[in-house]
Chains A and B, each alone.
Chain A
Amino acid sequence: GDSVTQMEGPVTLSEEAFLTINCTYTATGYPSLFWYVQYPGEGLQLLLKATKADDKGSNKGFEATYRKETTSFHLEKGSVQVSDSAVYFCALIGRGSNYKLTFGKGTLLTVNP
């Protein structure tokens, strides 16, 4: 079945540091890939997505590129802010999955001033 593996946290960075959160996946065919963010006590918000190979999703300074050859969708940001502190989830919708999202376990990011 489909699965998502993302780097375990927690990740602690200083403000303005570079962020990478690794995400790899297993799926049949070509899934759609997503990054969601969850702030404390809230639901999930879509951060960015990519629906085909080599697509780059971007939003609020975050980027991720759909790499079919390495089955990866790593999240990056060049300069993090304290307000980026949250839990980040990598997820996919596989072809033939009846549109069900499969999530990674999430990575807690803490950014210190």
Chain B
Amino acid sequence: DGGITQSPKYLFRKEGQNVTLSCEQNLNHDAMYWYRQDPGQGLRLIYYSQIVNDFQKGDIAEGYSVSREKKESFPLTVTSAQKNPTAFYLCATAERGAGNEQFFGPGTRLTVL
């Protein structure tokens, strides 16, 4: 059935290691987004992509990287340069066009040990 898949649900990483979070969708949406959620805060945008092979930095892109080689996939890499990576990461998709709502995946909780 249609939806957004994020894997893994829980991820543990040692300091200094890069880690990649997966986001896959079969909704045929053009736009994809990555957000970070910290306790007691709203969601903050990391990166977004409106079309394949193109993406833009959001409000907190430092220490993160993305790629958009396929319409269905938008992986996020958390690099060792990200100083405080422990958080809940949410992927979202949307049809292009003003006012279109974003649909969210179930999230990945990353913990740095």
Contact = CB atoms under 8 A, between A and B. Distances in A.
A109 B90 CA distance: 21
B102 A101 contact: yes
Nearest to A45: B104
Contacts of A101: 33, 43, 45, 92, 102
Interface size class on chain A is: 20 to 34
Top-4 shortest CB links A-B: A103-B42, A32-B99, A43-B104, A44-B104
Interface of A: 4, 32, 34, 36, 41-46, 49, 51, 89, 93, 95, 98-101, 103-106
B98 A99 contact: yes
B58 interface: yes
Contacts, number: 60
Interface size class on chain B is: 20 to 34
Contacts of B98: 32, 93, 95, 99
